[in-house]
């Protein structure tokens, strides 16, 4: 099963909107991932519904943050896009009648639940401002590299 990049893509979009002086189009944001603008528009719609971005249509339109980046946690983004699975268990769905498989599944489920809880706790503790600061430090350290266009 292919894992979803939805959460990573949504964080990428939100990080690109931090510190921008105006809206960014789905085409501009799609070029950064890279992906198709339709994928970006779907994520932006979920982020808008979650109250994290504002979007204006038409000439001069685009999306921008709806709140200060210091007030938006990574968990807020996670919830806005529907809380996709952060971890994918390796438990087998078949063989439910096998007692060994039941024990294995129970052990994996408990471990994954604990890991999920820890990940969500860390998402609560990190804001978009934190990502913006980390990006600024990255740019300062690599100022001789390829410039970032957004």
Return the ∠ at Cα 138 (arms to 73 and 47), rounded to 5°: 30
- Does 144 have pLDDT greater than 70? no
Domains along the chain?
A: 6-86+128-141 (1.10.10.10)
Q: What gap in Å lies between CA 44 and CA 63, rounded to an integer? A: 8
Indicate the pLDDT class of residue 37, thresholds 50, 70 and 90.
Answer: very high
Between 28 and 91, the more confident residue is 28
- Whether 91 shows a pLDDT value over 80: the answer reads no
What integer pLDDT is reported at residue 33 of this predicted model?
87
Q: Express each pLDDT in 2-18 by its tens digit.
A: 345 899 999 999 999 99
Beta bridge partners of 65: 53
Question: Over the chain, what is the mean pLDDT?
Answer: 86
Q: Are 54 and 48 in contact (CB under 8 A)?
A: yes
Q: What is the pLDDT of residue 93?
A: 66
- CA distances from residue 52 to 10, 14, 103, 106, 114 in whole angstroms, order as listed: 11, 9, 42, 37, 28
């Amino acid at each position: 099963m292919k894992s979803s990049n939805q959460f990573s893509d949504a964080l990428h979009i939100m990080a690109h909107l931090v510190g921008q002086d105006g809206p960014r189009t789905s085409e501009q944001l799609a070029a950064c991932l890279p992906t198709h603008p339709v994928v970006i528009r779907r994520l932006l719609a979920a982020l808008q519904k979650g109250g994290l971005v504002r979007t204006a249509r038409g000439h001069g339109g685009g999306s921008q943050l709806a709140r200060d980046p210091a007030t938006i946690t990574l968990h807020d983004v996670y919830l806005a896009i529907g809380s996709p699975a952060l971890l994918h268990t390796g438990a087998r769905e078949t063989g439910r009648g096998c007692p060994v498989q039941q024990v294995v599944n129970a052990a994996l489920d408990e471990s994954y639940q604990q890991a999920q809880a820890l990940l969500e706790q860390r998402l609560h503790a990190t804001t978009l401002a934190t990502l913006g600061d980390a990006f600024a430090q990255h740019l300062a350290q690599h100022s001789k590299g390829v410039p970032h266009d957004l």
